[in-house]
């Protein structure tokens, strides 16, 4: 063949075929060094290299250079990461050379919180709390402000100074943005004029900017275990660990026989530091550890995901066995254009740890799931165990495995915190009231204001405004009485009680109670107290208005804690007489 390639062609039934023979020496020139994603180097053809996820270095190159596949700076849309050449290419990054560093590399426009712009590398930009706009971007072509939807309305600011979910994008203006929308609350109510953030703070489901409650149906069918169905909100359905069928749906149609294992993933996608709007193809996979590790399930393909201002929602179903109670990390890969194969997808880092909500479906796998044994739930991280417990009588305990009442709560912390109370009107979500143990007693506190709004001590003493009651009822402040609170309660620095009455001339009781009267002799009355005072009382008397009453002198004799003797003397007659009189006895309890 004299070292020159030769070719033949032939035709069969109208089809033409050609064969090209290449000498061995020339064939070797079509191969080259291929850097694989694991950092190894192998000599092979370019097509084979790239089809296996590697990076072809060039024809006639070889692996004799030990550093040919070493890592270097890889410029990604939102950061710089030191990766191997193959890993960088797989992430659609720009490789800046072997052994290059991210320090000073991948310089791009950096929008500071004060809306100024500087051209920095990603790490320096992030260290200054800036928003990196991507490699090779410049301040001359970058606008560092946009509309930001806050709880007080729309303001123009930088991405770094705005909550990510509320930033509308660089260059957006408030005049064109409707920041608020309807918020479906878990209590089946709908509220207007909420932002995404304020709706999330009250535990609601935001129905989109520009939506209004008048055209929003917050209710939908919620399918539970064994085909049971309730109509509630999406948030309420999640609390029941059910499968929400959508706003406006009803329970008229039969629910599936069991709850789906699918769950909803909500995320945000940014391109060069700004929220992306458009369509994207996504791949979701489940892993056992945050980096590298074993693929548990997936990838699940979800194509044509609609993204608005960076926000998207995707439904993912890895199946029941993938969520077996062990820790799982979700990896997301995205492609927004030219999605021809796996190598065209960009992996988003870091992987996300799945929290409790997707694991709620494991309640269907009783006796198999860590932390769920058919009658108890452990905390999300396994400690404490039996955080929620139901015994064989249906009694429930929180924080303790042995309820002795229909609901038992074991407090935590140095003051044994039990219950906190919040109100929907408190958009900040702060606790307004809480119940805990204080001084070994029961304490109702106004959070952040004062303890012992109402307190019951371990001896049963009740305090109002004090956590150290000195008696059965200790009120620190005034006490109001009457149907409208028109009377003040009597008070003093002594612990006193009062007995009062009106006695007739014959020794009968005309008014009053708590005493008896004896009339053993003319003008003599002995008043005995049903309950003796703790000491001698003070006694005052007065005649009952009538004949000679102004001329009667009432004398108090023989006062004791149990009784008092009264004598009546008429001055004009100069003799002791019988007559009606009033008395009041005030003494220590």
Burial class (CB in 10 A: 0-12, 13-18, 19+), 85: buried
Tell whether 505 and 582 lie within a shared domain: yes
Rounded alpha-carbon distances, angstroms, from residue 351 to 284, 423, 471:
10, 35, 60
Tell whether 500 and 464 lie within a shared domain: no
Tell whether 358 and 270 lie within a shared domain: yes
Tell whether 333 and 421 lie within a shared domain: no
Please check whether residue 581 is in contact with residue 542, taking contact to mean a CB–CB distance below 8 angstroms: yes
Place of tokens 């006062």: 559
Rounded alpha-carbon distances, angstroms, from residue 171 to 141, 174, 289:
11, 10, 39
Structural domain span for residue 326: 263-362
Domain count, the chain: 4
Q: How many CB atoms neighbour CB 127 within 10 A?
A: 10
Tell whether 355 and 269 lie within a shared domain: yes
Please check whether residue 516 is in contact with residue 565, taking contact to mean a CB–CB distance below 8 angstroms: no
pLDDT value of residue 415: 63
Question: What is the chain's mean pLDDT, rounded?
Answer: 77
Asked if the structure places residue 400 within a domain, the reply is no
The residue count for the chain:
589
Tell whether 516 and 569 lie within a shared domain: yes
Each residue's pLDDT tens digit, 48-72:
887 777 777 777 778 887 677 778 8
- List all residues 6 or more positions away from 38 whose beta carbon is below 8 Å from its beta carbon: none
- Rounded CA-CA distance 109/474 in Å is 67
Each residue's pLDDT tens digit, 387-425:
787 877 778 888 776 778 888 887 766 567 778 877 654
Average pLDDT over residues 511-535: 95
Tell whether 330 and 351 lie within a shared domain: yes
Asked if the structure places residue 252 within a domain, the reply is no
Across 179-338, the runs of DSSP E, i.e. the strands, are 181-184, 190-194, 205-209, 220-223, 229-232, 243-244, 263-268, 270-271, 274-275, 278-287, 295-307, 311-316, 329-335
Tell whether 458 and 525 lie within a shared domain: no
Peptide bond into 118 cis (omega under 30): no
pLDDT value of residue 439: 80
pLDDT value of residue 361: 46
Asked if the structure places residue 94 within a domain, the reply is no
pTM: 0.34
CATH number (domain holding residue 332)? 2.60.40
Asked if the structure places residue 218 within a domain, the reply is no
pLDDT value of residue 462: 92
pLDDT value of residue 359: 46
Tell whether 427 and 472 lie within a shared domain: yes
Average pLDDT over residues 445-451: 84
Q: Which of 425, 457, 488 is the last residue of a domain?
A: 488
Q: In this model, does residue 560 exceed pLDDT 90?
A: yes
Q: What percentage of the chain carries pLDDT values higher than 90?
A: 13
Q: Which of 77, 79, 163 is nearest to 113 (CA)?
A: 163
Please check whether residue 433 is in contact with residue 194, taking contact to mean a CB–CB distance below 8 angstroms: no
| pLDDT-derived band at 12, boundaries 50, 70, 90 | very low
Asked if the structure places residue 341 within a domain, the reply is yes
Q: Which of 59, 83, 99 is the last residue of a domain?
A: 59
- Rounded CA-CA distance 85/68 in Å is 9
Asked if the structure places residue 531 within a domain, the reply is yes
Please check whether residue 369 is in contact with residue 360, taking contact to mean a CB–CB distance below 8 angstroms: no
Q: Which of 15, 34, 59 is the last residue of a domain?
A: 59
Tell whether 503 and 472 lie within a shared domain: no
Tell whether 475 and 510 lie within a shared domain: no
Helices (H), 248-397: 356-359
Asked if the structure places residue 471 within a domain, the reply is yes
Q: Residue 314: beta bridge partners? A: 265
Asked if the structure places residue 217 within a domain, the reply is no
Tell whether 479 and 501 lie within a shared domain: no
First to last CA, the chain: 129
Least confident of 22-36, 203-217, 426-440, 494-508: 22-36
Q: What percentage of the chain carries pLDDT values higher than 70?
A: 79
pLDDT value of residue 29: 54
Q: How many CB atoms neighbour CB 1 within 10 A?
A: 8
Each residue's pLDDT tens digit, 453-486:
898 988 889 989 898 888 888 888 888 888 888 8
SS3 24: helix
């Amino acid at each position: 063949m004299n070292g020159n390639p030769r070719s033949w062609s032939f035709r069969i039934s109208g089809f033409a075929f050609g064969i090209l023979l290449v000498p061995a020496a020339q064939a070797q020139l079509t191969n080259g060094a291929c850097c694989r994603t694991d950092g190894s180097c192998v000599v092979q053809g370019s097509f084979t290299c790239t089809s296996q996820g590697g990076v072809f270095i060039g024809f006639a190159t070889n692996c004799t250079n030990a550093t040919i596949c070493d890592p270097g700076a890889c410029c990604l849309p939102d950061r710089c990461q030191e990766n191997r050449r193959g890993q960088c290419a797989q992430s659609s990054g720009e490789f800046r050379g072997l052994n290059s560093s991210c320090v000073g590399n991948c310089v791009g426009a950096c929008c500071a919180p004060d809306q100024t712009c500087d051209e920095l590398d990603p790490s320096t930009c992030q260290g200054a709390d800036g928003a990196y706009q991507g490699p090779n971007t410049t301040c001359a072509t970058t606008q560092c402000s946009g509309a930001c939807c806050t709880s007080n309305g729309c303001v123009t600011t930088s991405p770094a100074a705005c909550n990510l979910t509320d930033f509308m994008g660089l260059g957006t203006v408030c005049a064109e943005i409707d920041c608020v929308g309807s918020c479906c609350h878990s209590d089946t109510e709908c509220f207007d004029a909420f932002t995404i953030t304020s709706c999330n703070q009250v535990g609601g489901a935001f129905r989109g900017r520009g939506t209004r409650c008048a055209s929003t149906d917050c209710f939908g069918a919620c399918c539970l275990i064994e085909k049971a169905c309730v109509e509630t909100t999406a948030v309420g359905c999640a609390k029941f660990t059910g499968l929400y069928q959508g706003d406006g749906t009803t329970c008229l149609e039969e629910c599936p026989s069991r709850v789906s294992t699918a769950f909803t993933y909500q995320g945000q996608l940014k391109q060069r530091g700004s929220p992306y709007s458009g369509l994207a193809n996504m791949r979701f996979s489940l892993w056992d550890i945050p980096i590298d590790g074993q693929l548990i399930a997936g990838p699940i393909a979800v194509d044509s995901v609609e993204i608005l201002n960076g926000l998207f929602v995707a439904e993912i179903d890895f199946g029941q066995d993938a969520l077996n109670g062990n820790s799982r990390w979700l990896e997301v890969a995205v492609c927004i254009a030219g999605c021809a194969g796996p190598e065209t997808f960009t992996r988003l880092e870091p992987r996300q740890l799945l929290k409790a909500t997707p694991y709620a479906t494991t309640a269907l796998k009783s006796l198999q799931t860590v932390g769920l044994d058919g009658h108890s739930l452990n905390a999300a991280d396994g400690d404490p165990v039996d955080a929620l417990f139901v015994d064989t009588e249906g009694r429930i305990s929180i924080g303790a495995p042995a309820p002795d009442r229909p609901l038992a709560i074991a407090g935590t912390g140095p003051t044994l915190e039990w219950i906190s109370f919040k109100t929907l009107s408190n958009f900040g979500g702060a606790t307004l009231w809480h119940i805990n143990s204080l001084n070994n007693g029961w304490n109702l506190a106004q959070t952040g204001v004062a303890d012992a709004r109402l307190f019951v001590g371990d001896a049963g003493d009740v305090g109002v405004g004090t956590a150290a009651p000195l008696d059965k009822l200790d009120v620190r402040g005034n006490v109001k009485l009457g149907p409208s609170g028109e009377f003040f309660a009597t008070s003093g620095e002594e612990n006193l009680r009062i007995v009062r009455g009106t006695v007739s001339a014959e020794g009968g009781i005309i008014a009053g109670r708590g005493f008896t009267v004896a009339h053993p002799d003319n003008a003599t009355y002995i008043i005995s107290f049903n309950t003796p005072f703790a000491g001698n009382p003070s006694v005052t008397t007065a005649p009952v208005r009538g004949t000679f009453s102004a001329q009667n002198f009432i004398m108090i004799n023989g006062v004791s804690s149990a009784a008092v003797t009264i004598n009546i003397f008429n001055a004009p007659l100069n003799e002791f007489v019988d007559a009606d009189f009033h008395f009041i006895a005030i003494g220590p309890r």
